[in-house]
A and B are shown apart, each in its own frame.
Chain A
Amino acid sequence: MKNSNDIQNESPSGLAKYKDNLLSLKSSFLGSFLRSGMPTSDKSRTAVVVNNFFLHLHGAKTHINTLRPSFTLGLGIISFSLLVIAFISGGFLMVYYSPAIETAYNNIKDINFVVFGGRLMRNVHKWSGEAMIIFVLLHMARVVYTNSYKRGREFNWVIGVILLIVTFVVNLTGYMLPWDQLSYWALVIVANIAAAPKELTDIFGITQYFDIGGDTKKILLGGTEPGQDSLTRVYLLHIIVLPLAICTALGVHFWRIRKDGGLSKPDAIKSTGNGVVNITPAQKTGGIFPTHKTYGLMELAKGRTPAVDNDVENTVTSWPHLFIAEIAIFILTLAAVIAYSYFVDAPLKELANPMIPENPAKAPWYFLGLQELVSYSAFMGGQGLPGLAIAGLLMIPYLDREQEDIGIWFSNRQGKMIALESFVVSAITVIGSLAFVINFGWFRNWWPNIHQLWIIAINPGNLLLGFVVAYSLWVIKRTDSTRMGAISLFTMFLVSYVILTYTGTVLRGPNWEFYWSASQWPIH
């Protein structure tokens, strides 16, 4: 080191370089990590987004409407946060769980009793998964009511519906892993629902040639009774197939949001005069781009690109505005899930016992609306009606193509009235038809020997679906607006799902009979 002055003018020695590098480790590492360091200007803020793998899915700039909490309510981010939480907690649980029917139940017991933080992690996994169902549904409701499934987002809605289905199935498969009584009998019910087409093939007498129901059940269970093979299958679905499906679909979902111009937003937000920023669309008078026209990026990208002449004045840099919002909602979700998990334990009943049927044997709560329909007709309730409902959801953006009032809750005053009206009408209809069935029974009670085909064709579930479709068509006719029809249809779908689920969960007791609460059940 003494010689350092002598050789200053020459290239520094290797050790000196080493020392310098060591001293500047912090800044050089951070520089490589953040590439351009902490952003200080709008230009560098943009660079952060563009240069970061995790952030580059976002736009460099974000429209301020997107950031308004009252517009999205953060529901999409909450759903995604729940998924991340479920993935992490699920990875934790996988360490302690092995999918063998001899050990699975004991593994869960050990997770509950001796694994450090195991009970909490299991609760977190359980509740974040089930909360996903609620928040994905709410997210869909937000998309419908704010008219956000249009202008290129039609297919993204389809992906959203697929994600909803996968969310249901991934929850269901998880429900079966503890191999307790709940798991076992839910698996039996689900397998029977999978076998529901048998009801139809039996009627036509073709079951022995074409037993699609029975075969589906066998494929699901890996046999005719739930056992080790079923558990293996369910486990693989839960930890590999469905998570991969979710990640793929979610990737496309996010990517398309970006390609479709970010979140939908109103063309204009009208001032209410109460300090709300009055935002009007940019009134362009000059420039080479004509007013109110969007441009593709030459021939490379068709359709709409995010920022061309699209309210650029009302955007802010995503860093930090958007990311703060996202992180805040993630932390909020995490805090809520952990708080809930702290107080409420995930259920775990006795070890699975094929000799002792649960009575009532119930699927997990989110399927109890379906189970209620299944109690009318196995095929229609288990496959026909949900299939039609999903088809109906998928078709919403293709049957309602009115391009006005995008990004505004309920589109307009009329939309609010239609939503309210549909809510009341469907609530009355669903409760009424349930009350009718509970009090007076259905065909099988009146004519015990009636052919099953009659019940498949005419049962309360079908009538309800028919009513919902007919009513929304009537709304379209009355209002001359397919948008109103969409609002009406979705409202009725949501109301039916909630009421049927509530009925199946709370009001149905042993032998699927009606009770106001579980305390009135005859046994136990």
Chain B
Amino acid sequence: MNSRFYLSLLLISSLVLIAFVGIAFNREFTPEWKWYQTEYKDFLVKNAKDESTRQRAERIEIGMQQIYLKSLKKSDRCVSCHMGVENPLMADAEQPFRQHSGNYLENHPIAKFGCTACHNGQGRAMNRREAHGKEHTHWDFPIIPTKYIHSSCAQCHDNEMLKQEGGEKVARGEELFREKGCKGCHKHNGKGGDLGKDITGIGSKPFAYFPMKHVVGDHHLYNWIKQHFDDPREIVPESDMRAFLTEEEAELLTTYMLTFKVEQMPRNYTLIKNIIFPKTDGESLYKMYCIACHADGKVSLYDEIFERTIPAIGNPAFTKSIDDRHLREIIKEGRPGTQMTAWNKNAAGLSDEEIDEIIKYITRERPAGKPRVFGFTGFKADKKRGEELYKVRCALCHGDDGKGGKRRLGISLRLKNVNPEFLSITVRDGRAGTPMVPFGKEGVGLGDQDIADMVAYVRTLSKSKKK
């Protein structure tokens, strides 16, 4: 009647059940943090200098510790293991007992700031793996590596203060950010180019936002940013980013990137003494927005990543032949078909004054005097003939379609609203310092009529269908 079967089943199951309830209870009663707390207590008792300290140490109760921060909506339980964080005796102890380095805690009482406000990590977790939140813990903000920790200071402090008082890495990162031309391609707070991704709030973007496949080591935000600076295409194969940074610069910039956060600290936490607005003179602006592609602008250079030649915009021959109005139009509207962004207020977000400052900077070495007038409108240009001439004279560098591009020395000629007078003068006089030689009488020896024909043909290129 199977009773024996069921009885033995009952017996075995009960034993298994009791065993597992037992080990489950055991696991609950002996969590990781209890070991640490016991060790800490024993250490204090053993090293007590006098009787009263020893007694005080013995009175330490083993139990979960938590700092509850209402206004930050945080429950930081880190101190359950890091018990010696405020204890000067533990200055040289091993983690997790070591005292907090520096004098940071003097001005940042742990009861007000907790831990994760600066260090990130998962404050609620009660075991090391998940509290530090590094690998496969489904926690978006793992503990910040010490080399980037200054980024947290910028949540509450201004740059000037950071520069002087222990946050110099952020301050230097900020300088680099302005000098390396990051915003030439990346928008930040609505300002900047659009070749790259918007970096607003990148420091608080969840893990899943970043393609982590090629990141070496822990797959978290910090490694992603740093390694992306080291070699953008190693991390994002289709990236066009130009980054030429030393190891130190990459780390400083990473630190600064991490300060771009969406959430703001509550008012009573922040301490902004003097906000110094970033300089808006031409040179600073040029560095911030232009330098990444145009470098110093003296020579045109072929760019392997963009697969095109980048014009030499500071070249005296160029600034001489182009007037400010034309230059302003190019900067404002960009060069469609190339990487050049439209920089007007509604696109990349530069104000008219800022663009003027940049133009002033670009044209600072403009030679005196105007180029000899060409008088394009006076010629009766023959586009057909211009095409034949173009094929012979120009196509080698600028390409049959005038796009310039891959492995070509010339820049794109498919430009809308281009001033024919300016084009003609450039063809006639060439552009010193670049491969563009003068095609006029003094150079290759073409007549003005030939040049006018060619220019007329070039103007049709932008209207012809894109190939």
Contact = CB atoms under 8 A, between A and B. Distances in A.
A338 B125 contact: no
Contact of A324 (B6, B16, B209): B6
Contact of A67 (B1, B21, B25, B213): B1
Interface string A316-345: 100011001101110110111011001000
Interface in B7-22: 7, 9-10, 13-14, 16-17, 20-21
Max chain A C-beta neighbours (<10 A), residue from B6, B126, B130:
B6
A113 B125 contact: yes
B3 interface: yes
Contacts of B13: 328, 331-332, 334-335
A64 interface: yes
Nearest to B80: A114
A228 B20 CA distance: 38
A68 B2 contact: yes
Contacts of B7: 324, 328
B263 interface: no
Nearest to A105: B124
B140 interface: yes
Nearest to A353: B206
A304 to B, nearest CB: 24
B24 interface: yes
Given A324-B3, A327-B10, A328-B10, A117 B213 contact: no
Contacts of A218: none
Contacts of B138: 180, 348-350
B207 interface: yes
Contacts of B2: 64, 67-69, 321, 325
Contacts of A339: 16, 20
A298 B28 CA distance: 60
Interface in B403-421: none
A109 interface: yes
Given A328-B9, A523-B212, A321 B3 contact: yes
A350 B9 contact: no
Contacts of B10: 324, 327-328, 331-332
Contacts of A327: 10
A109 B139 CA distance: 11
A109 B2 CA distance: 46
A109 to B, nearest CB: 5
B213 A523 contact: yes
B212 A524 contact: yes
B20 A356 contact: no
B14 A331 contact: yes
A170 to B, nearest CB: 25
B208 A331 contact: no
B211 interface: yes
Given A113-B126, A331-B14, A339-B20, A524 B213 contact: yes
A395 to B, nearest CB: 35
A14 interface: no
Contacts of A180: 138
Contact of A113 (B20, B24, B124, B207): B124
B133 to A, nearest CB: 10
A328 B77 CA distance: 42
A332 B1 contact: no
Interface string B188-221: 0000000000000000001111011100000100
Interface residues of A, number: 40
Max chain A C-beta neighbours (<10 A), residue from B7, B77, B138, B219:
B138
Given A67-B2, A320-B3, A328-B9, A350 B139 contact: yes
A116 B209 CA distance: 35
A350 B207 contact: yes
Nearest to A64: B1
A336 B21 CA distance: 11
Contacts of A335: 13-14, 16-17, 20
Interface string A154-185: 00000000000000000000000000110000
Q: How large is the interface on B (under 10, 10 to 19, 20 to 34, 35 or more residues)?
A: 35 or more
Contacts of A350: 138-140, 206-208
B70 to A, nearest CB: 13
Contacts of B1: 64, 67, 316, 321
Contacts of A342: 20, 23-24, 27
B6 A325 contact: yes
B245 interface: no
Contacts of A320: 3
A117 B24 contact: yes
A523 B213 CA distance: 5
Contacts of A325: 2-3, 6
A356 B17 contact: no
Interface string A93-121: 00000000000001001100110110010
A287 interface: no
A116 B28 contact: yes
A466 interface: no
A344 to B, nearest CB: 13
Contact of A356 (B3, B16, B130, B208): B208
A331 B6 contact: no
A522 B21 CA distance: 42
Contacts of A113: 77, 124-127, 130
Contact of B213 (A120, A316, A321, A522): A522
A332 B124 CA distance: 35
Contacts of A68: 2
A351 B139 CA distance: 8
Interface in B105-138: 122, 124-127, 130, 138
Nearest to B23: A342
A117 B28 contact: yes
B265 interface: no
A69 B140 CA distance: 50
Contacts of B6: 67, 69, 321, 324-325, 328-329
A348 B138 CA distance: 7
B64 interface: yes
Contacts of A356: 206, 208-209
A69 B10 CA distance: 13
A68 B1 CA distance: 8
Contact of A114 (B3, B17, B25, B77): B77
A332 B9 contact: yes
Interface string B19-46: 0110111011000000000000000000
A110 B75 CA distance: 10
Contact of B17 (A69, A338, A348, A358): A338
A170 B140 CA distance: 29
B5 interface: yes
Contacts of B125: 109, 113
Contacts of B9: 328-329, 332
A331 B17 contact: yes
Contacts of B130: 113
A64 B125 CA distance: 53
Interface of B: 1-3, 5-7, 9-10, 13-14, 16-17, 20-21, 23-25, 27-28, 64, 75, 77, 122, 124-127, 130, 138-140, 206-209, 211-213, 219
The 10 closest A-B pairs by CB, nearest first: A328-B10, A335-B17, A332-B13, A331-B13, A335-B16, A328-B9, A325-B6, A113-B126, A328-B6, A349-B138
Interface of A: 64, 67-69, 106, 109-110, 113-114, 116-117, 120, 180-181, 316, 320-321, 324-325, 327-329, 331-332, 334-336, 338-339, 342, 348-351, 353, 356, 358, 522-524
Given A68-B2, A109-B125, 5 more contacts: A69-B5, A332-B9, A332-B13, A334-B17, A338-B21
30 contacts: A64-B2, A67-B1, A68-B2, A109-B122, A109-B125, A113-B126, A114-B64, A116-B28, A117-B24, A120-B24, A120-B28, A324-B6, A324-B10, A328-B10, A329-B9, A331-B13, A331-B14, A331-B17, A332-B13, A334-B17, A336-B16, A338-B20, A349-B138, A350-B139, A350-B140, A350-B208, A351-B140, A524-B208, A524-B213, A524-B219
